């Protein structure tokens, strides 16, 4: 019986991939990749010659049925994103749900995802936390921030470099000026960095040092009451 393998890939350091992930990527018939150009660097590094097909947020609805057909025809497929675990702020949910609805086996391998090391690095409580992903850009943003400001659990957010300062300003506004936050960037890479402190302190740093790389923000909700 065919199977869809959800395969996490490194968030930066190419060594952060499991032996089993490499084995699966070599064995499947087709690899569904968010960006084949990005994924080719990883596959070439490990001499993986499995054919790739693009699967991303702009075509996932359009080609979903074709992928299900491939699986029903007996092909084993692997789904990878540019970095981390597919389905976590990356394409994956629609395909997994469709496989479940069509009684197609799905197996998700354990592996890299950015928010876990960022959460641990923060030094904030990890017994209870909420993963929020990316905040809405416009519609619903303020409403969501008001809800999050009532949270007692540690909050995990993703953010892009060019929106980081705006989001830190919003956190200061909706939580408090004294809320303690942690900002991690370039996780597992040479220039990995984690800053901790009040929003105003971190804003000042990034106003003087333009942020680069993918960013994880951790909010210590217990410090804004």
Both 99 and 135 in a single domain?
Answer: no
Asked whether residue 126 falls in the same domain as residue 77, the answer is no
Do 102 and 147 sit in the same domain of this protein? no
Residues 119 and 214 in one domain: yes
Same domain, 8 and 98: yes
The pLDDT tens digits of the residues spanning 27-55 come to: 999 999 999 999 999 999 999 999 999 99
The predicted structure's pLDDT at residue 155: 98
Please say which residue of 60, 83, 108 terminates a domain: 108
Same domain, 18 and 99: yes
Looking at the structure, tell me whether residues 21 and 43 fall in a common domain: yes
Please state the domain count of the chain. Answer: 2
Cα–Cα distance measured from residue 13 to residue 48, given in angstroms and rounded to the nearest whole number: 17
Q: Reply yes or no on whether the pLDDT at 169 is more than 70.
A: yes
Across the range 64-71, mean pLDDT stands at: 98
**Residues ≥6 apart with Cβ < 8 Å to 118:** 156, 182, 184, 187, 194, 216, 218
Average pLDDT, the chain: 96
Of 108, 135, 155, which residue is a domain's last? 108
Q: What is the pLDDT of residue 193?
A: 96
CATH number for the domain harbouring residue 195? 3.30.950.10
pLDDT above 90 (res 222): no
Above 70 in pLDDT, residue 224?
A: no
**Which of 108, 138, 157 lies at the terminal end of a domain, its last residue?**
108
Range of the domain at 150: 115-223
pLDDT in tens, 173-195: 999 989 999 999 999 999 999 99
Kindly state whether residues 143 and 184 are assigned to the same domain: yes
pLDDT category, 225, cuts 50, 70, 90? low
| Calpha distance 88→91 (Å, rounded) | 8
**In whole angstroms, what is the distance from residue 153 CA to residue 206 CA?**
26
Q: Is 17 found in the same domain as 37?
A: yes
**What does the alpha-carbon distance between residue 178 and residue 137 come to, in Å, rounded to a whole number?**
24
Looking at the structure, tell me whether residues 82 and 36 fall in a common domain. yes
Asked if residue 157 and residue 70 are part of one domain, the reply reads no
Instruction: Please say whether the beta carbons of 160 and 137 come within 8 A.
Output: no
Residues 57 and 21 both lie in one domain: yes
Burial of 194 (0-12, 13-18, 19+ CB in 10 A): middle
- Mean pLDDT over 201-221 rounds to 95
Q: What is the mean pLDDT of residues 114-130?
A: 97
Instruction: Provide the greatest CA pair distance for the chain.
Output: 57
**What is the C-alpha to C-alpha distance for residues 180 and 25, in angstroms, rounded to an integer?**
41
Domain CATH number, residue 99 = 3.40.1010.10
């Amino acid at each position: 019986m065919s199977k869809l393998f959800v395969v996490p890939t490194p968030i930066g350091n190419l060594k952060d991939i499991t032996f089993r992930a490499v084995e699966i990527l070599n064995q499947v018939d087709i690899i569904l990749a968010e960006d084949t150009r990005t994924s080719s660097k990883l596959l070439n590094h490990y001499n993986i010659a499995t054919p790739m097909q693009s699967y991303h947020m702009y075509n996932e609805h359009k080609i979903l049925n074709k992928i299900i057909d491939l699986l029903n025809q007996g092909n084993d497929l692997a789904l990878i994103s540019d970095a981390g675990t597919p389905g976590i702020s990356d394409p994956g949910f629609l395909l997994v749900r469709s496989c479940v609805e069509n009684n197609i086996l799905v197996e998700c391998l354990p592996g890299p995802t950015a928010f876990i090391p960022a959460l641990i690095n923060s030094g904030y409580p990890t017994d209870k936390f909420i993963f929020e992903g990316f905040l809405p850009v416009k519609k619903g943003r303020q409403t969501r921030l008001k809800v999050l400001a009532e949270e007692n659990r540690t909050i995990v957010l993703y953010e892009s470099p060019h929106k980081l300062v705006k989001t830190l300003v919003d956190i200061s506004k909706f939580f408090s000026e004294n809320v303690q936050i942690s900002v991690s960037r370039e996780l597992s890479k040479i220039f990995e960095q984690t800053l901790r402190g009040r929003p105003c302190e971190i804003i000042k740093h990034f106003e003087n040092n333009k942020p680069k790389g993918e960013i994880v923000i951790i909010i210590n909700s217990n410090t804004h009451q």
